[in-house]
């Protein structure tokens, strides 16, 4: 619950930051959900929903944006009766393929992700530091999204992603699909 509040707080901070942005640039704030289907060799993990938010900044390439986002969910396994909070943060590069239609566009994403899973302390007395109690693993993710621009400044996206997390001893794979709603801040010359 606290994390969801944090995500909300972050979203507000992002919104405030971008409100003061230079007018000639365009930023996208988004939030949404993704349904993760994790796979690895040693354990059986159940699919689970995640919720998150982020923002995208423009680069000098008009079709390319860079995005920062965080998604939170509960990684769990009924087989081994474990539920671990999971936080997935990422830096993504998004390339927009413009289609003849103004309503639909297609984008491809390549992301570097950090998949952090909170490991509960074995005993309450364990003096475990905040960061050390999270297992962090690098991963990469690739995917595509269909975007709908039906309402002004609002973008509805349906992303489909595949990820590999370079954990040890086994790599961890995850597939996800979801729905995000984005709001584009753009003004001045672009309007």
| DSSP symbol at 169 | S
**Binding residues for another protein, total number by CB under 8 A:** 47
Q: Measured from the CB atom, is 101 or 125 closer to another protein?
A: 125
Q: What is the three-class DSSP state of 15?
A: helix
C-beta separation of 30 from 56 below 8 A: yes
C-alpha distance across the termini of the chain, in Å:
38
SS3 10: helix
Q: Does 162 bind another protein (CB under 8 A)?
A: no
Closest distance to another protein from the beta carbon of 88 (Å): 11
Nearer to another protein, 138 or 150 (CB): 138
Q: Where do the H-state alpha helices sit in 71-181? A: none
Contact by Cβ (8 Å): 54, 178: no
Report the nearest approach of another protein to the CB of residue 15 (Å). Answer: 10
Nearest to 34 by CA among 184, 136, 137, 162: 162
Kindly state whether residue 30 participates in binding another protein, applying the rule CB under 8 A.
Answer: no
Measure the CA–CA gap between 46 and 51, rounded to whole angstroms: 16
Interatomic CA distance for residues 191 and 187, integer angstroms: 5
Instruction: For another protein, give the closer residue by CB, 2 or 151.
Output: 2
| Residue 20 token pair | 């003061």
Q: Which stretch binds another protein (CB under 8 A): 7-15, 31-39, 96-104, 151-159?
A: 7-15
Residue 43: CB minimum distance to another protein, A: 16
From 89, 141, 157, 174, residue interacting with another protein (rule: CB under 8 A): 89
Using CB under 8 A, which of the segments 32-40, 97-105, 132-140, 149-157 binds another protein? 132-140
Q: Which residues bind another protein (CB under 8 A)?
A: 2-3, 5-7, 9-10, 14, 17-18, 20-22, 25, 27, 55, 57-61, 64-66, 68, 70, 87, 89, 91, 93, 112, 114, 116, 130-132, 134-138, 140, 166-169, 171
């Amino acid at each position: 619950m606290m994390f969801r509040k944090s995500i909300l707080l972050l979203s507000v901070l992002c919104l405030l930051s971008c409100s003061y942005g230079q007018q000639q640039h365009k930023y996208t704030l988004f939030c949404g959900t993704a349904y993760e289907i994790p796979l690895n060799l040693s354990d059986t993990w159940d699919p689970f929903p995640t919720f998150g938010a982020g923002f995208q900044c423009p680069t000098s390439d008009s079709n390319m944006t860079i995005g920062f986002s965080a998604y939170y969910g509960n990684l769990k396994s009924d087989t081994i009766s474990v539920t671990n909070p999971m936080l997935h943060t990422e830096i993504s590069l998004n390339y927009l393929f413009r289609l003849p239609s103004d309503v639909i566009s297609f984008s491809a994403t390549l992301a570097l992700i950090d998949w952090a899973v909170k490991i509960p302390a074995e005993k309450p007395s364990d003096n475990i530091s905040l960061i050390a109690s999270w297992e962090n693993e690098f991963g990469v993710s690739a995917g595509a999204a269909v975007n709908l621009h039906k309402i002004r400044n609002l973008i509805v996206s349906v992303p489909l992603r595949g990820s590999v997390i370079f954990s040890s001893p086994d790599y961890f794979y995850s597939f996800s699909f979801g729905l995000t709603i984005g709001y584009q801040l753009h003004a001045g010359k672009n309007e």
